[in-house]
Amino acid sequence: MALPRTLFDKVFDAHTVLTREDGQALLYVDLHLCHEGSFHAFNALRAGGHRLRRPDRTIGVADHYVPTDARTTKAIANPEIRGIIETFRANMHDHGLRHFDIDDPLQGIVHVIGPELGLTRPGMLIVCGDSHTSTHGALGALAFGIGASEVAHVFATQTLWQARPPVMRVAFSGRLAAPVSAKDAALALIASIGTGGGAGHAIEFAGEAVAAMSVEQRLTLCNMAIEAGARCGMVAPDATTLAYLAGRPGAPAGPDPAWAMLASDHGAAFDREESLDAGLVEPMATWGTSPEEAVPVSAAIPAPEATRDAAAARRSLEYMGLAAGTRMAEVAVDRVFIGSCTNSRIEDLRAAAAVLRGRKARVPAMVSPGSSSVKRAAEAEGLDRLFAEAGFAWRDSGCSLCVAMNGDTAAAGERVASTSNRNFPGRQGRGARTHLMSPASAAAAAITGRIADVRELA
């Protein structure tokens, strides 16, 4: 009689071609997503005299370097960035790959358009040269980021060597109380277990709160799994998943019967289990330079001695220009950014717009929708007008200020309220200071000019 298996084990085993004596498994890749940064791997492929093994299972997306204030390559002033995008385009054409270029009506951030186009489906194994590939796990896929040499290996063989990671179950009991969001839940989890709390694990998110989440909220949760040190994040597909996929261009006409089996068996053993009461989660924001340095916006910055790593906390406070004991609500911000593969979908924009309605931003602010499709949907609902009336710049889709590779940057010393996923030093520009939070909280920060409790603006 077969032993009970986890969701992760089922998908991992289904893609294992063979296993070596050292435990490494050769996995077959269903979908390989690549972006402009893949030029190193294409160079390696060319140097080895290889062609792509399965060009039909590789999709390219221009997102990291694309400008959000123009949709043509000619409009890019920086010749290096322009060259990277032109190289991406040449590689796509040279290998006959389906791709979404800068001016494609379906262009967007790779981890946004994969799910929205139905390219991401339950039970798939998906890789991309980007750590936040874990996002796709929200639909019951096994998805993780890979390095440049691994990208080249997948190009050449459509396979990848991987060690089986330990599996961790994170259960959120209860329900999130609006306007608390999946981003707040993710930050609360990381603050609780630390950025190394899920180190090397595959995390399965479960519990009543996760079951009640929309797919877009689950995408945010799995996106942030990486910031807990995890290899990937997953949510078992359910009726919510099937309803989300129905009618999307890349999805099948009806659900695959095999998807019904993609849930952890009763009695399946996890290497580690964590639980949080979602009903106790408050709007969160980071105060330091690590996603684990987060507290409720109603709280104060802790003393370094009260943190997991006092020395790291002191360095964070010095970089951020903050002092222990300062109330988060007293921290002024200089700029607001709503976007990134974490929080740029239509539900995210709706949440921010609802807070902004009839109000004005006190600081410069911008919105970069996660895809051209999201932008069109938002404009059809009039959200663009709400943002514009509040003083936000309404931009095109791209990674933008999340990673500051395309010219969208914050100045040294500027404090940014951001819906992105990382607050590392220099992430949004050299010397820039990042505070991670949800879209609703970012909107509240724009209105007040400081980190604020969005619940007080209702």
CATH number of 369's domain: 3.30.499.10
How far CA 181 is from CA of 209, 224, 335, 348, in Å, comes to: 10, 13, 22, 9
Tell me what pLDDT residue 305 has. Answer: 98
360, with CB counted inside 10 A (0-12, 13-18, 19+), is exposed
Is 406:322 a contact under the CB 8 Å cutoff? no
Tell me what pLDDT residue 77 has. Answer: 85
Last residue of a domain, one of 162, 190, 225: 162
Phi-psi region of 267 (alpha: psi -120 to 50; beta: other; left: phi over 0): left
CA atoms within 13 A on the CB side of 3: 6
Q: Do 142 and 291 have their domain in common?
A: no
Distance in angstroms (rounded) separating the CA atoms of residues 257 and 223: 27
Q: Do 149 and 296 have their domain in common?
A: no
Provide the number of structural domains found in the chain.
Answer: 2
Give the 3-state DSSP-derived string for the chain, with helices as H, strands as E and coil as C: CCCCCCHHHHHHHHCEEEECCCCCEEEECCEEEECHHHHHHHHHHHHCCCCCCCHHHEEEECCCCCCCCCCCHHHCCCHHHHHHHHHHHHHHHHCCCEEECCCCCCCECHHHHHHHCCCCCCCCEEEECCHHHHHHHHHCCEEEECCHHHHHHHHHHCEEEECCCCEEEEEEECCCCCCCCHHHHHHHHHHHHCCCCCCCCEEEEECHHHHHCCHHHHHHHHHHHHHHCCCEEECCCCHHHHHHHCCCCCCCCCCCHHHHHCCCCCCCCCCEEEEEEHHHCCCEEECCCCCCCEEECCCECCCHHHCCCHHHHHHHHHHHCCCCCCEHHHCECCEEEECCCCCCCHHHHHHHHHHHCCCCCCCCEEECCCEHHHHHHHHHCCHHHHHHHHCEEECCCCCHHHCCCCCCCCCCCCEEEECCCCCCCCCCCCCCEEEECCHHHHHHHHHHCECCCHHHHC
Tell me what pLDDT residue 74 has. Answer: 85
Is 51:95 a contact under the CB 8 Å cutoff? yes
Is 54:26 a contact under the CB 8 Å cutoff? no
Last residue of a domain, one of 119, 141, 162: 162
In a domain, 251, yes or no: no
Structural domain range at position 146: 7-162
- Report which of 120, 125, 172, 128 is spatially closest to residue 148, judged by C-alpha positions: 128
Q: Supply 16's token pair.
A: 């294992």
Last residue of a domain, one of 111, 144, 162: 162
pLDDT by position in tens, the chain (length 458)? 689 999 999 999 999 999 999 999 999 999 999 999 999 999 999 999 999 999 999 999 999 999 999 888 888 888 999 999 999 999 999 999 999 999 999 999 999 999 999 999 999 999 999 999 999 999 999 999 999 999 999 999 999 999 999 999 999 999 999 999 999 999 999 999 999 999 999 999 999 999 999 999 999 999 999 999 999 999 999 999 999 999 999 999 999 999 999 999 999 999 999 999 999 999 999 999 999 999 999 999 999 999 999 999 999 999 999 999 999 999 999 999 999 999 999 999 999 999 999 999 999 999 999 999 999 999 999 999 999 999 999 999 999 999 999 999 999 999 999 999 999 999 999 999 999 999 999 999 999 999 999 999 97
In a domain, 296, yes or no: yes
In a domain, 217, yes or no: no
In a domain, 228, yes or no: no
Q: What does the chain come to in residues?
A: 458
In a domain, 1, yes or no: no
Q: Do 158 and 306 have their domain in common?
A: no
Residue holding tokens 């109603």? 298
In a domain, 94, yes or no: yes
Q: Report the DSSP beta bridge partners of residue 403.
A: none
Q: Do 157 and 294 have their domain in common?
A: no
In a domain, 198, yes or no: no
Tell me what pLDDT residue 76 has. Answer: 87
Q: Supply 341's token pair.
A: 């593969």
In a domain, 441, yes or no: yes
